Amino acid sequence: MNKYISTFMTIVAGMLFSMSAMAYDGSRLWLPAAVDGRHDVSVKLEAKGESASIAAQELRDHWRGGDVVLREKRDKSLGKEGYRIVPGDANVTVTANSGIGLLYGAYHLLRLQSTGATPDTTIVETPAFDMRVLNHWDNLDGTIERGYAGRSLWKWDELPDVISPRYKEYARANASVGINGVVLNNVNASSRILSREYLEKVRVLADIFRPYGIKVYLSANFAAPMQLDSLPTADPLDKDVIKWWKRKCEEIYGLIPDFGGFLVKANSEGQPGPCDFGRSHAEGANMMARALRPHGGKVMWRAFVYSANDADRAKQAYLEFNPLDGMFDDNVIVQIKNGPIDFQPREPFSPLFGAMPSTPQMAELQITQEYLGHANHLAYLAPMWEEFFGWVKPESLKAIAGVANVGDDDNWTGHPMAQANWYAFGRLAWNPMLTSKAIAQEWLPMTVYETAEIPAGVKEGLEEMMLVSREAVVDYMMPLGLHHLFAFGHHYGPEPWCNPEGASPSWLPSYYHRADSAGIGFNRSPAGSDAVAQYPEPYRTQYASASTCPDELLLWFHHLPWDYKMKSGATLWDELCRHYEHGCNKVSDMQKAWYAAAPYLDSSLYKDVERRLATQARDAQWWKDGCLLYFGEFSGMPLPDDVTAPVHTLESLRGIDLGITNYESPSAELLDSKR
**Contact 430/81 with Cβ under 8 angstroms?**
no
Q: What angle do CA 567, 572, 576 make, to 5 degrees?
A: 105
- Identify the DSSP state of 69: E
Burial of 584 (0-12, 13-18, 19+ CB in 10 A): buried
The length of the chain in residues reads 675
Buried b (16+ CB within 10 A) or exposed e, 203-232: bbbbebbbbbbbbbbbbbbbbbbbbbeebe
d(CA 53, CA 131): 23
**Contact 126/13 with Cβ under 8 angstroms?**
no
d(CA 351, CA 362): 13
Three-class DSSP category at 147: coil
From 465, 455, 467, 453, select the one nearest 593 (Cα to Cα): 465
Residues catalogued as catalytic: 269, 342, 370
For the sheet with 83-87, list strands across it: 43-46, 67-72, 91-96, 83-87, 123-125
d(CA 613, CA 603): 15
Question: Rg of the Cα trace of the chain?
Answer: 26
214: left (phi over 0), alpha (psi -120 to 50) or beta: beta
Buried b (16+ CB within 10 A) or exposed e, 458-468: bbebbbebbbb
- Give strand pairing partners of 262: 218, 299
**Contact 102/70 with Cβ under 8 angstroms?**
yes
Element (H, E) at 365: strand 361-366
d(CA 459, CA 472): 20
Query: Sign (positive/negative) of CA torsion 190, 194, 197, 202?
Result: positive
From 81, 113, 106, select the one nearest 4 (Cα to Cα): 113
Query: What does the longest C-alpha to C-alpha distance in the chain come to?
Result: 74
d(CA 549, CA 543): 5
Residue type present at position 512: Y
d(CA 599, CA 108): 30
Long-range contacts of 409-414 (CB under 8 A, 24+ apart): 409/149, 409/150, 410/26, 410/27, 411/26, 411/27, 411/149, 412/26, 412/27, 412/29, 412/149, 412/173, 413/149, 413/375, 414/148, 414/149, 414/150, 414/374, 414/375
d(CA 147, CA 380): 17
Q: What angle do CA 145, 374, 459 make, to 5 degrees?
A: 135
Element (H, E) at 457: helix 456-477
